[in-house]
């Protein structure tokens, strides 16, 4: 190899000035810094997991609220349908079941949320 600079045939390349070289070095440093920041963000598994967990938690809370509303509406509809035609024993059992559900509302919501999260995790694993 020779120490002579490469040139393209027919077009002389101008020699960059020291200021141009400094600007080029500075641009290259900036680009390299941005690339390193992007790679560091992709490599931060813990932050990605936290973000994903927060998103799943939010989705589970929303779905739990929707399902709870649907259950309340269906229970109200069923109570109205049964109110005049059911025997007293059935109404007593329904009343006890409703009071048990009200007493354990938090537990039922947590179980529902856990079930939704489990189903979402299984679904996401299947899609991979």
Domain membership of residue 19 (yes or no) is no
Q: What is the CA angle 91-92-93, rounded to 5? A: 90
Q: What is the mean pLDDT of each run of 10 residues along the chain (128 residues)?
A: 57 82 94 90 82 90 90 86 70 84 84 87 81
Provide the β-strand partners of residue 8. 11
Length of the chain: 128
Show the domain range for 105.
45-127
Domain membership of residue 20 (yes or no) is no
Quote the tokens at residue 29. Answer: 């440093």
State how many domains the chain has: 1
Domain membership of residue 114 (yes or no) is yes
Domain membership of residue 123 (yes or no) is yes
Q: Residue 89's pLDDT is what?
A: 78
Q: Residue 11's pLDDT is what?
A: 65
Provide the β-strand partners of residue 11. 8
Cβ within 8 Å of residue 56, ≥6 positions away: 117, 120, 121
Domain membership of residue 72 (yes or no) is yes
């Amino acid at each position: 190899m020779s120490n002579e600079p490469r040139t393209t045939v027919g077009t002389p390349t101008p020699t960059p000035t020291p200021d141009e070289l400094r600007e080029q070095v500075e641009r290259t440093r900036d680009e390299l810094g941005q690339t390193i920041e992007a790679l560091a963000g992709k490599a931060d598994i813990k932050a990605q997991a936290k973000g994903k967990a927060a998103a799943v938690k939010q989705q589970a809370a929303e779905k739990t609220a929707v399902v709870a509303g649907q259950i309340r509406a269906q229970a109200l509809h069923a109570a109205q349908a049964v109110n005049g035609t059911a025997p007293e024993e059935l109404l007593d059992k329904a009343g006890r079941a409703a009071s048990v559900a009200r007493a354990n509302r938090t537990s039922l919501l947590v179980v529902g949320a856990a079930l939704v999260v489990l189903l979402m995790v299984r679904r996401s694993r299947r899609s991979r």
